Structure 1
Amino acid sequence: MSFQDYQWLANYSTLEHKPLQEFYIPALERAVRYDRISAYFSARALFYASRGIRSFVERNGKMRLLLSCELSEKDVGAIEKGYDLRQQIEDKLVAIPLALPDLEKREGLLALTYMISRGTLDIRIAVRLLEQEGRLVHDSFSIMHDKLGILYDNAENTISFRGSNNESAAGWINNSESFSVQLSWEGQRELERIQYDISFFEKRWNGEIAGLQVFEFPDALREKLIHAYPPAEYEALLGGGNKNITAMPGTGEEPPEPPITPEPAPDPVDPIIIEKRRSDLWRLIRNAASLPDGLSVGYQTAAVSPWPHQLRNLKRMAEPESIRILVCDEVGLGKTITAGLAIRQLYLAKKANRILILVPAGVIPQWQNELYEKFNLNVPVYNGKELLYKPTHGTGYPPIKTVSRTDWMQEAIVIASSHLVRRKDRQKDFQEALNWDLILLDEAHHARRTGAGSTMEKGPNTLLQLLDQLKSKTKSLILATATPMQIHPVEVWDLLNILGLPVEWDRSAFEEYFTLLNSKNPSDAELSRLAALFRATEKFYGAVEQKLIETILPEPEASHIGRITIIEALRSEKGTLKIKRLSAKERKQAVRILQATSPVQRLMARHTRLLLKEYYKKGLIKNRIAERKVHDIAIEMPAKERMLYEMVESYISEVYNKAPDSIRSSVGFVMTIYRKRLASSYLALYRTLEKRLQKAGFELADLSGDDIDDDQQNTLEDRNILVNLENKPMASMLPEELQRIKEIMKECSRLATSQKSVELESIIQASIADGYESVIIFTQYTDTLDYLKEFLAERSQSYVNSLGTYFGGGGQIKIGQSDWKNKTREQIKEEFIKGNIQLLICTDAAAEGLNLQSCGVLINYDLPWNPMKVEQRIGRIDRIGQKYDEMQIYNLAYKDTVEFDIYFSLAQKIHLFQGVVGKLQPILSLLPEKIEELAMLSKEERELTRESLFHELERQQRELESDSFDIDAVSREALEIPEIPESKVSLQFLEKVMNHPDKRPSQIEWAKLDPGSYDIAIPGFDKKRVTFSPERFEFHNSNMDLFSHGNTLFDAMLDMVPE
């Protein structure tokens, strides 16, 4: 919650308002810090605001209280006789009786001592000094009488209030008191007043005012408070539920505190009662996600802090009993996190007991890691023969389990390759399988029709066919992709049709709808046609909510009557009669309603960086979206490198042109691999040629994981190239080809250093000098990574102290003169975030799931032929929470190469990699194939073909600019963040429960280790180390478990507690 989501008044008075309920409690419920100066402080007032204080305490709110101490004439006399002022104040405060006449009011002082014990409440005492005859003296009639409060929330909003009220029951309820309120977001004048108040408080708190003497809170009083009101008692209250305080007792002046009396020892509680309470508590914990306020349980018990747009998606996906949705958030906005939030919440709420997750093979490790590290779910991967679990600290089962072709489908949650399950020999298995509660398909744009929208259009590919089969086999279906439209709007229609469209919304109606809307001023007949589709949409999905209409057409732009007139015209079954009566203004407003209420909005969730920037401007999120600055670095090729380049290009062109027609496409594919590796590094090319030389042939098995990604695999499957390589390996080399390869390898070995690597070093040095703390370097190939790590280790010692590599399940790190040391994935990430790795070299495959927004400089050492791969690289640092306001993106390419010709020319024409894809997606989708075609040509042919390619791309761009279907425009989300109630059950709550012997299950052994981790022994399991800290789990999940729902040990413990 933020201060801005509550309506504050400028002034409050106890005669006209209820300041406690209307100001103090709402403020504390939203605050994370509270500074207060009060003349008459009574801890009893904390009881009256206990609802606010409780949430403030549970959120680790920080509080500073500066209190006045009134001295009597006797006190002043003692001081004048030489007694120590500090001791006099301590003696006076310690003598104050602490017992409350009403035990129900203990919670206020319990909250006070609990905060003191945790270090979240700091109290200081101020004594007023007067100047007499040039010196400061103490006076029994003078006190610090300032009344000031300053509150801060998580969104960097501040509230200050000043007035006559004190922290007492009389001050907040009974006296005629008033105070004024200043809000930091309400203009410069308000902000200046708050800044004055902050300075006012800090000077007094730090004892910088001559007229005040400030003392630390006496230790003796602290101990007395903690003894009388033990923090453990309040901790138990926090675990036992919140009281609904409806009355605010107390009238007039507060009665004097009675002398403190020892409390009688509590009667021993019947063990049966303890067990009943324990059972009730664990029933709540077990079923928390299913309760009305349980929508937050999934992420409150996981190691993830969702961003506002992810919470919007979660509410939309996990609140209904079932959902069919296309999640299309842009790269870098946490699409996998959004999906994980839904999976965990639906699973814990028992809305989805059987979940199938289908993802491309290349990102399976990322998915398994994220589900475990962020969502505490160890989900097995089916590889065609076995179930592979992630090896973890507390796994209670073998990491590998052999299963049959159908048994793997019995798992509660399972991940499988979308490439594997689409095979025709697997179709029958799915037809006979039990239905799922949820199926999720990642990178859903791979499910498409071949040649979409062109004259060569064919039917659906195997993945789209599989989806059509699976849609009836599941209650809920989530399709995820950052790029739902690759070439043509029909691809979006195909995916939406799988999710469920009204029968009236066939392909032609879908395309016609947005074409007519794009005309901005449709005729009566056209508007009637659009209205008919609007009615079909409402009939199928339900009526459009009035609140949404008001958001689309807010006042004063449209009146309430005007909105009713438009909606009635659209809903009318009487042809064009009401449509004709709409004014020109109302017709335009009707078009806006039609654009914002199509099935796209009903079935798609899409957030873009532009939308998040609007969130930031509106104050809905506190983290701004960083800007990109893209640098295209064209490198002049030295003579020796130019000679090698031309040798390879000549070889590629000749081999391709001489290849028989039956295997030419396969030969072309292999030659593109050589071409890409040449553009990356000479070592990458050398090692590939070396492998070919050793075998004197080429087979599919020779490909490394670096050579083919998921998008390529889909394309190659469609073109049967992989099948050809499997069945018809490239023939053995002829003697002349063998000699050519040896000559190329000889030239490669002569080039110890490349000009590109020299340019790389220069960029790194400049970036470090400019104040960037770290740099990340991307390459497609592990071989290039090997070259760069040795090159930079040797050359960079004068300006960086540490290097790291990341190339799969882990990586390496080198600090100073030390040797390279192997590290796990978690260790690499932790060291980089902590600043212990200044240069990090990554491969594309390894970078999936590695989110490094602490880095502000990214260098593309080579450029994949698919521009979206470059966009995904940039997405590793261009994320919400990016540390720097401006990121530096460097693209390196040699002049007069395919990469230079295509990428750098396009950068000037369509602003490539500036962070906005939108309508450019169809152009970007065509590029990999076009670059491949150019790469197979001779230099002379390439120059001629390149110009015609650019003309064709420019023509397509013009068409797209006027096209009727803009995915970002038709799927635009409203600027509104839904509020999700916080559940009591969270990681902090579970930790408190487990630390209470009468609340944790009696069958287990529990012991605290170092701060934040514990030992647990459960019957049937080995002793394990667990934590409730997301931060510790993030970097140390290989040697401790996150102890919450989904964890093997935790779920086993839940089963021990009877229902």
Structure 2
Amino acid sequence: MPDPAVPVTLSPAPADLWSVDERSLELFAKQLDAPPAPRAWYELRREAEHVALVPGFDRLITLGGHAIKELPHQIDVAQRVLRQMGGRAILADEVGLGKTIEASIIYRELAIRGLARRTLILTPASLVGQWQGELEEKFFQHFDTPTDPDDWQRVTRAIVSHDRARSRRHAEEILRHHWDLVIVDEAHKIKSHRGATYQFIEKIERDFLLLLTATPLQNDLRELYNLITLLRPGQLGTWEEFRAAHLVGGDRRQPKDPEALRALTHAVMIRTRRASVVDDLDLPPRRPRHPVVKLTKAEADLYERTTQFLRRLYREGFVQHEDDEDEAEDGSPRRRTGKAMVQLAMIHLRQRLCSSAKALAESLAHLAEGERIKPQHRTIARQLAERARKVKTHAKLNVLTKILKETPDRVVVFSDHRPTIELIEQRVKALGRTPIVYWGALTTAERDKRVRAFHDDERSVLIATRAGSEGRNLQICNVLVNYDLPWNPMVVEQRIGRVHRIGQKREVHIVNLAAAGTIESYILQLLDKKIKLFELVVGELDLILGEFGGAQKFEVRLADEWLAAENDADFERRVETLGLDLERSSAAGHAQEQLNSLIAPDDNATRLERRFDELSIPARLRLGLGTSHLVKAAGWEAKRQRLGVHVTELLEALESIEPIGDVITTQPVPAGTHPQYGALVRLTGLTSSGRA
């Protein structure tokens, strides 16, 4: 007969180190109330020992294995979500601080531990491709994007739009499966508890849930209540209880006690503020320069004639009417295709108008060759193309030449048009410097080779298209030239971000070549004076353009205003109105941000401790880091999931279990001491056949 069990007293760990959800307590209570089952208790105790051996979240083990440099606040967010929030949280960082990166780090940490084998990402349709690309390029993780309901039978990692996921056939297939991790981007779009997407997400069986939104509160506190209730039902009580406790006279926008509300949201929400991140980044200042670019007489004449031509096309239409009759019986697919092709040619013309006469000539020639364009317009396009070919002196190229002569170090020159790039390449060679051309058609290996060449040659000039502003770190250089200025401010910001980023030690000089009196000069005015693009800190551009509808809507609005203008004076008035709208958008964005910060907990006051390497396995167990909902590894998921018991609660309960038969449940073995918690013990069990 073995010795009787020795009672063990465990000092409770600080309450904020873990949280026990109501479901776990309910299941554990049922187990306590169940008829005596010694073998079941013994198995539970043995599993508790197994839990202690599973890698916990005392440190993030995937860091360094990504194609990005994680920011300190992103690491802190991931650690807190995994260690204190049980993998269920609202990521509410201010705009542009990397919520996608944070969610991806959390996913990778769960996945490498076998806890996120089935992962579902729900996002607006416009962001599906962006999510897929970032996970592939930055985290080397492939996610499928199911389009057919049958696809759900085979995929285990999927990205799908909110609308597609909730559609009947897709929803049926998604709800057939249990998902380890569900990530919802732009979660404020599902804020209504009566909405179809909200109700669909409620039905998804999942272990972990991340809701991503910079604005958990947009219009009223009911939205915040709904999101937290979706994440953790019961956390805020009923809506009536919440309203009585936290709203001023029923005013849904006015919290009665912001401090009390922040304390309540602390367990489920993390919000990083931009001001704190700027200090972490330690970025040098941006120094914009706008040198005077005066078009030559030939260039100015070409610009004026082409502008009048494009406005005429805009007003009169540019597709032959005969197309409507030819294709009316079958839905006019050829007519629409022809019109779309001409519209595409017009976009190229608009974009190339201020780039170079060579680039403009190519686009005008393509337009003149179009079968659908009206004959009179085809003739004008052909004449303008010929006029453009005769331009031999390029004002921008001469200004760039002066800049390169004054800058002996590396320079990055951005242009999105290949004919212009060819002109720049020839001029760089003529100056005795090394041109390195970088555009989207290059293979990955060739891109890497050219970037290395740029790093190796301190007098080289990298001439890049938009591909050079995506995913390449060029902080070895501190001079950037926007040879032609994109109409989309986000593209400009992405270009700057290749050079003005972590690791940059020198002031970054941003040179914008906008010819006086052209559309580019107005774009520059908006970027510099209204948006203040060159003074912004990380993420602010998204904030400013958010209420406006985003960068793409800005680009479309600008193009429409330019084409619809009767003359330059009319366009100037339209630009002024556009600028006022941008200022209103900026004010609304900042007001929205302040409202959300009012009720969100401040998670930047202190940084989480990152050094847990020295903790022993018993210390981890005592600190509650190995909780049941985080450590369901292969072989015992079902049992741990079924019981849902935190390790600490289990061990404390075992103190009261009397030995039955040949099973002794609590034999203490000394396991050292901890400076904060004192003596530590290892709980073991003995059977007639030996130690378990």
Normalised by the length of structure 1, the TM-score is: 0.43
Partner of 1:341: 105
Check if 1:326 corresponds to 2:69. no
Shift of 1:495: 9.4
Check if 1:675 corresponds to 2:341. no
Contact 2:488 2:554 in 1 (8 A): yes
- Counterparts of 2:390 and 2:401, CA distance in 1: 21
User: How has the CA–CA distance of structure 1 residues 408 and 897 changed in structure 2, closer, same or farther, with 3 Å as cutoff?
Assistant: farther
Aligned residue for 1:824, secondary structure, equals helix
Check if 1:913 corresponds to 2:555. no
Superposition pairs of residues 19-38 of structure 1, within 5 angstroms: none
Check if 1:606 corresponds to 2:311. no
- The amino acid across from 1:350 in the alignment is G
- The amino acid across from 1:761 in the alignment is T
- The amino acid across from 1:680 in the alignment is S
Check if 1:851 corresponds to 2:473. yes
1:179-237 deviations in whole A, cap 9, x for unaligned? xxxxxxxxxxxxxxxxxxxxxxxxxxxxxxxxxxxxxxxxxxxxxxxxxxxxxxxxxxx
- Counterparts of 1:683 and 1:471, CA distance in 2: 57
Partner of 1:654: 312
Check if 1:934 corresponds to 2:574. no
1:147-190 deviations in whole A, cap 9, x for unaligned? xxxxxxxxxxxxxxxxxxxxxxxxxxxxxxxxxxxxxxxxxxxx
Aligned residue for 1:895, secondary structure, equals coil
Contact 1:406 1:429 in 2 (8 A): no
- Counterparts of 1:504 and 1:287, CA distance in 2: 27
Aligned residue for 2:514, secondary structure, equals strand
Query: Which structure would you say has the larger RCO, counting Cα contacts within 8 Å and 6 or more residues apart?
Result: 2
Partner of 2:491: 869
Contact 2:288 2:509 in 1 (8 A): yes
Check if 1:314 corresponds to 2:78. yes
Aligned residue for 1:890, secondary structure, equals strand
Partner of 1:167: none
Aligned residue for 1:894, secondary structure, equals coil
User: How has the CA–CA distance of structure 1 residues 468 and 691 changed in structure 2, closer, same or farther, with 3 Å as cutoff?
Assistant: farther
Superposition pairs of residues 943-958 of structure 1, within 5 angstroms: 943-954=572-583
Contact 1:898 1:934 in 2 (8 A): no
Partner of 1:489: 218
- Counterparts of 2:451 and 2:221, CA distance in 1: 36
User: How has the CA–CA distance of structure 1 residues 489 and 831 changed in structure 2, closer, same or farther, with 3 Å as cutoff?
Assistant: farther
Partner of 1:388: none
Aligned residue for 1:936, secondary structure, equals helix
User: How has the CA–CA distance of structure 1 residues 911 and 477 changed in structure 2, closer, same or farther, with 3 Å as cutoff?
Assistant: same
- Counterparts of 1:693 and 1:316, CA distance in 2: 60
User: How has the CA–CA distance of structure 1 residues 794 and 892 changed in structure 2, closer, same or farther, with 3 Å as cutoff?
Assistant: closer
1:809-858 deviations in whole A, cap 9, x for unaligned? 647xxxxxxxxxxx434334444445568322333245322233332222
Contact 1:289 1:345 in 2 (8 A): no
Aligned-pair identity in percent equals 22
Shift of 1:346: 0.9
- The amino acid across from 2:481 in the alignment is I
Structure 1 stretches lacking a partner, 5+ long = 1-285, 385-403, 453-458, 514-523, 535-569, 571-589, 616-622, 697-731, 812-822, 986-1059
Partner of 2:464: 842
- The amino acid across from 1:927 in the alignment is F
- Counterparts of 2:221 and 2:434, CA distance in 1: 49
Aligned residue for 2:117, secondary structure, equals coil
Partner of 1:894: 515
Superposition pairs of residues 57-76 of structure 1, within 5 angstroms: none
Partner of 2:682: none
Check if 1:975 corresponds to 2:605. yes
- Counterparts of 2:311 and 2:153, CA distance in 1: 48
- Counterparts of 1:683 and 1:423, CA distance in 2: 50
Partner of 1:438: 181
Structure 2 stretches lacking a partner, 5+ long = 1-49, 325-335, 616-692
Check if 1:628 corresponds to 2:286. yes
Contact 2:413 2:482 in 1 (8 A): yes
Contact 1:802 1:836 in 2 (8 A): no
Aligned residue for 1:851, secondary structure, equals coil
- Counterparts of 1:289 and 1:641, CA distance in 2: 73
- Counterparts of 1:928 and 1:297, CA distance in 2: 42
Superposition pairs of residues 326-725 of structure 1, within 5 angstroms: 326=91, 328=93, 331=96, 337-357=101-121, 359-361=127-129, 364-372=132-140, 377=141, 379=142, 381-382=144-145, 406-407=150-151, 410-414=154-158, 416=159, 418=161, 427=170, 431=174, 434-440=177-183, 444=186, 469-470=200-201, 472-473=203-204, 474-478=206-210, 489-490=218-219, 500=229, 593=259, 599=265, 602-608=268-274, 610-615=275-280, 624-659=282-317, 671-696=346-371
Contact 2:76 2:608 in 1 (8 A): yes
User: How has the CA–CA distance of structure 1 residues 595 and 912 changed in structure 2, closer, same or farther, with 3 Å as cutoff?
Assistant: farther
Partner of 2:414: 778
Contact 2:89 2:210 in 1 (8 A): yes
Normalised by the length of structure 2, the TM-score is: 0.63
- Counterparts of 2:362 and 2:473, CA distance in 1: 30
- Counterparts of 1:961 and 1:329, CA distance in 2: 10
Aligned residue for 1:325, secondary structure, equals strand
Aligned residue for 1:679, secondary structure, equals coil
Partner of 2:405: 765
User: How has the CA–CA distance of structure 1 residues 694 and 603 changed in structure 2, closer, same or farther, with 3 Å as cutoff?
Assistant: farther
Q: Aligned to 1:800, which of 433, 444, 455? A: 433
- Counterparts of 2:224 and 2:518, CA distance in 1: 38
- Counterparts of 1:634 and 1:503, CA distance in 2: 63
Contact 2:165 2:171 in 1 (8 A): no
1:96-115 deviations in whole A, cap 9, x for unaligned? xxxxxxxxxxxxxxxxxxxx
- Counterparts of 2:227 and 2:373, CA distance in 1: 48
Q: Aligned to 2:56, which of 270, 287, 292? A: 292
Shift of 1:344: 1.3
User: How has the CA–CA distance of structure 1 residues 409 and 869 changed in structure 2, closer, same or farther, with 3 Å as cutoff?
Assistant: farther
Contact 1:314 1:338 in 2 (8 A): yes
Contact 2:163 2:197 in 1 (8 A): no
Shift of 1:365: 4.1
Q: Aligned to 2:420, which of 783, 787, 790? A: 787
Contact 1:689 1:741 in 2 (8 A): yes
User: How has the CA–CA distance of structure 1 residues 963 and 380 changed in structure 2, closer, same or farther, with 3 Å as cutoff?
Assistant: closer
- Counterparts of 1:491 and 1:526, CA distance in 2: 10
Contact 1:778 1:862 in 2 (8 A): yes
- Counterparts of 1:639 and 1:695, CA distance in 2: 29
User: How has the CA–CA distance of structure 1 residues 441 and 954 changed in structure 2, closer, same or farther, with 3 Å as cutoff?
Assistant: closer
Partner of 1:726: none
Check if 1:746 corresponds to 2:386. yes
Aligned residue for 2:480, secondary structure, equals strand
User: How has the CA–CA distance of structure 1 residues 915 and 903 changed in structure 2, closer, same or farther, with 3 Å as cutoff?
Assistant: same
- Counterparts of 2:379 and 2:267, CA distance in 1: 61
User: How has the CA–CA distance of structure 1 residues 927 and 322 changed in structure 2, closer, same or farther, with 3 Å as cutoff?
Assistant: same
User: How has the CA–CA distance of structure 1 residues 806 and 954 changed in structure 2, closer, same or farther, with 3 Å as cutoff?
Assistant: closer
Shift of 1:315: 0.8
Contact 2:413 2:461 in 1 (8 A): yes
Aligned residue for 2:77, secondary structure, equals helix
- Counterparts of 1:380 and 1:440, CA distance in 2: 13
Contact 1:630 1:913 in 2 (8 A): yes
- Counterparts of 1:838 and 1:493, CA distance in 2: 57
